[in-house]
Amino acid sequence: MHKTGLLILLFLLTGCEVMAEHWRQLSTTMKIVNSDSSQKIEQCSEQPQSNLDPNNIKLITLTAVNTKESGQIRQGKYLAYQFAAQAGQQLNYRTEDNLCIWIYAPDRQLIKTKDLPQTGQYTMVFTALKGATTFDIKMNITSGGGTQTQPLQPLPPFAKSSTPTPTLSPSISPEVNPPTERVTFDPGTTGKTLTGNIKVAEKRQYKLECAAGQKMSLEVQQGTVDINILDPKGQIIGTIKNSKNWQGELPADGDYLIEVSASNTADFKVNVNVAPL
């Protein structure tokens, strides 16, 4: 009797071990993940799931030189950068943070490659993949087929869109910017104060002719604005962001461009001074 009971107990123990191993193998094959597991696979949606607030759109200028943007974003909240590009150029960007990113062409169509098909204003929309995150992202634009000294790899996915109209605010338009204003100094002076009111998704441009070797300085006297200074070749040689001042020596003769943008509507006053040679 004792021998029979021992055999039954041994059979039950062996059978449990076999069943446990079978379930472990089956779970591995099926990739079963508990709903509360941190390993649960997260995926970006094919396109943004709600409209984009115009207050969360920032105008930037992209060139072959890397531009870095930083901030904070939460899942389901959307931020956007708008930039001008030419057909045939390539958009490159890199980030180490978990972001969902969508790129819209000037005709509001979602694109999935880094090759830009049209000339106009592009919109990069992004959100956090999960929760909230502080992000850094580097971006540049290069000529199609060109080489880069610091290549940036696009972060997948560029989502496919099954609908022809993305959920962007209709108020976004590349034609909202006023024409470029030519800046001249009054006789006997070396500077001028630029004033105005700037709205979200708007960019003010001021052009002034300078000579190589002159020193330019800018001071933001009123308003919270971002400023890019571009040389005659269109390369950014200076920026004002989270600061009030910039100064530098100009590298060449020609027209220099001062671009003013803002993340919120603001009255601004910027003093520009160019010292004589």
Q: Are 237 and 264 found together in one domain?
A: yes
Q: Are 270 and 246 found together in one domain?
A: yes
Say how far apart CA 109 and CA 117 lie, in whole Å.
11
Q: Are 165 and 185 found together in one domain?
A: no
Q: Are 65 and 168 found together in one domain?
A: yes
Residue 158 and residue 101 in contact, taking contact as beta carbons nearer than 8 Å: yes
Average pLDDT across each block of 10 residues of the chain; the chain has 277 residues. List them in order: 55 46 38 35 77 81 87 87 89 89 89 88 89 89 55 37 43 57 90 91 90 94 93 92 91 94 91 92
Inside any domain, residue 7: no
Say how far apart CA 252 and CA 236 lie, in whole Å.
13
Between the CA of residue 73 and those of 60, 79, 114, what are the distances in Å?
18, 7, 23
CATH number at residue 158: 2.60.120.380
Ranges assigned E (strand) in 57-213: 57-59, 67-74, 79-85, 90-94, 99-104, 110-111, 120-128, 132-142, 181-182, 191-198, 203-210
Inside any domain, residue 251: yes
Q: Are 116 and 82 found together in one domain?
A: yes
Where does a domain end: 128, 150, 172?
172
- Structural domain including 136 reads 54-172
Give me the pLDDT at residue 164, please.
43
Residue 99 and residue 73 in contact, taking contact as beta carbons nearer than 8 Å: yes
Give me the pLDDT at residue 249, please.
94
Q: Are 69 and 104 found together in one domain?
A: yes
- What domain count does the chain have? 2
Q: Are 161 and 99 found together in one domain?
A: yes
Say how far apart CA 56 and CA 276 lie, in whole Å.
40
Q: Are 150 and 192 found together in one domain?
A: no
Inside any domain, residue 209: yes
- Nearest by Cα to 202 from 173, 227, 182: 173
Q: Are 194 and 266 found together in one domain?
A: yes
Task: Tell me the residue length of the chain.
Answer: 277
Where does a domain end: 172, 188, 222?
172
Inside any domain, residue 261: yes
Q: Are 73 and 98 found together in one domain?
A: yes
Give me the pLDDT at residue 70, please.
87
Q: Are 151 and 221 found together in one domain?
A: no
Where does a domain end: 149, 172, 195?
172
Task: Please list the helix, strand and coil fractions of the chain in percent, rounded to the nearest 5, in that order.
Answer: 15, 40, 45
Say how far apart CA 176 and CA 65 lie, in whole Å.
26
Inside any domain, residue 257: yes
Give me the pLDDT at residue 42, please.
66
Q: Are 107 and 127 found together in one domain?
A: yes
Inside any domain, residue 20: no
Inside any domain, residue 71: yes
Give me the pLDDT at residue 6, please.
56
Give me the pLDDT at residue 1, please.
52
Q: Is the peptide bond before 48 cis (omega within 30 degrees of 0)?
A: no
Inside any domain, residue 27: no
Give me the pLDDT at residue 180, please.
87
Cβ count within 10 A of residue 166: 19
